Amino acid sequence: MTNEQIDLRSDTITRPVPEMRQVMANAEVGDDVFGDDPTITKLEAATAEILGKEAAVYVPSGTMANQLAVRCHTQPGDEILLDANAHIIWYEAGAPAALSGASCRVIQGTRGIFTVDQFLEALRPANIHMASTRLVALENTHNRGGGSVWPLDQLTDVCLAAREKNIVSHLDGARLWNASIATGIPESDYAKHADSVSVCFSKGLGAPVGSVLAGSSIFIDRARHFRKQFGGGMRQAGIIAAGALYALRHHRDRLKEDHDNARKLGLGLAEVPGINIDSDSVVTNLVYFDVEHMTATEMVLKLAQSGVLVIATGPSTIRAVTSLEVDSKDIDKVISKIGKIASEMNE
């Protein structure tokens, strides 16, 4: 860190490195709505290739990428099946209903991951009184699941079962890069059987702006129409796409550092009296832990006063996220500060 504050609120707080800024400053640009921005074209092609998809479209945010998928895949009145803690439900401002007229029905997965049997049991029978289930959405890694990674066979089974039932599948892969680094499984293997997949550049990869939605060429043509309708058509956006392209080429492998730091934090917190955490559950860059003898909000405030920023996700639950903005020494400081606060509260 270059200052006294250690920010673990999210990996969205990452800032572009000097080399990325230089690439952005020198980026070739054009009008992307007309398809004339060469940097965006390169980013879309490179991302589609990594994901094993025919085409991709660059959008301002992960929320827009997910909601374009919902809009493309569904009609008003359709139903989406997804885990009860999915980002699409919790953090996208009710967009499925507001933008697509679609309702959401949840499956109670384990750490954000459900089985093919749970999926099949959740399907509604053919009945004119009921909404038609049109889309199943999966999130990998799963945010509120603690950065959990879908087992490839399990994800594949759900996507293939959906296809047999004439239901399309969308993979919310905002942190798919993390899943791939954690397991060694290529992103294309995770994306192979999903009809669409979104990925984000402004989290662990450290770009300032943007996500991509990928799928078939026909699907992406439709997504471009709705991107314009949603207000996401951009002009000389190659300046920001250049940052995403740099991140794609240079920052994927370094995600292992974030995972190592998260693991170190989890193991350290497991030794602190008054802190409850299953350190084995820390497999990527998200660390969730519970506090005793105080509320999560109280702990967040005390940590902020000591120069550590985290967020409360429940009455006693706190989330900390590692990123390129923190290093191993920062993690040592965080463990020490949390230990000191917990000790004071235990007295």
Contact predicate 269/287, CB 8 Å: yes
**What's the pLDDT at 4?**
80
What average pLDDT score do residues 228-244 get? 96
pLDDT at 1 over 80: no
**What's the pLDDT at 91?**
96
DSSP class of 237:
T
As to burial, measured by CB atoms within 10 angstroms (0-12 exposed, 13-18 middle, 19+ buried), residue 50 is buried
The tens digit of pLDDT for each residue in 163-193 reads 999 999 999 999 999 999 999 999 999 999 9
Q: What is the pTM of this model?
A: 0.94
Domains delineated in the chain: 14-250 (3.40.640.10), 254-346 (3.90.1150.10)
**What's the pLDDT at 3?**
52
pLDDT at 228 over 90: yes
Which residues, 6 or more positions from 261, have their beta carbon under 8 angstroms from its beta carbon? 285, 322, 326, 327, 328, 330, 331
Share of the chain above pLDDT 70, in %: 99
In one-letter notation, the amino acid at residue 153 is D
What average pLDDT score do residues 228-251 get? 96
What average pLDDT score do residues 322-332 get? 97
* Tokens coding 275: 């802190």
CA distance 235 to 326: 34
The tens digit of pLDDT for each residue in 93-112 reads 999 999 999 999 999 999 99
CA distance 269 to 271: 5
**What's the pLDDT at 345?**
76
The tens digit of pLDDT for each residue in 57-69 reads 999 999 999 999 9
The tens digit of pLDDT for each residue in 202-215 reads 999 999 999 999 99
Helix 238-250 and helix 38-51: axis angle, to 10°? 30
CA distance 172 to 275: 31
Which residues, 6 or more positions from 318, have their beta carbon under 8 angstroms from its beta carbon? 288, 289, 290, 291, 296, 299, 300, 310, 311, 312
3-state secondary structure of 4: coil
pLDDT confidence band for 347 (50 / 70 / 90): low
Four-residue CA torsion sign, 324, 329, 331, 334:
negative
The tens digit of pLDDT for each residue in 295-320 reads 999 999 999 999 999 999 999 999 99
**What's the pLDDT at 329?**
97
DSSP secondary structure string for all residues of 140-157: SSBTTTTSB---HHHHHH
Share of the chain above pLDDT 90, in %: 96
Four-residue CA torsion sign, 227, 99, 170, 79:
negative
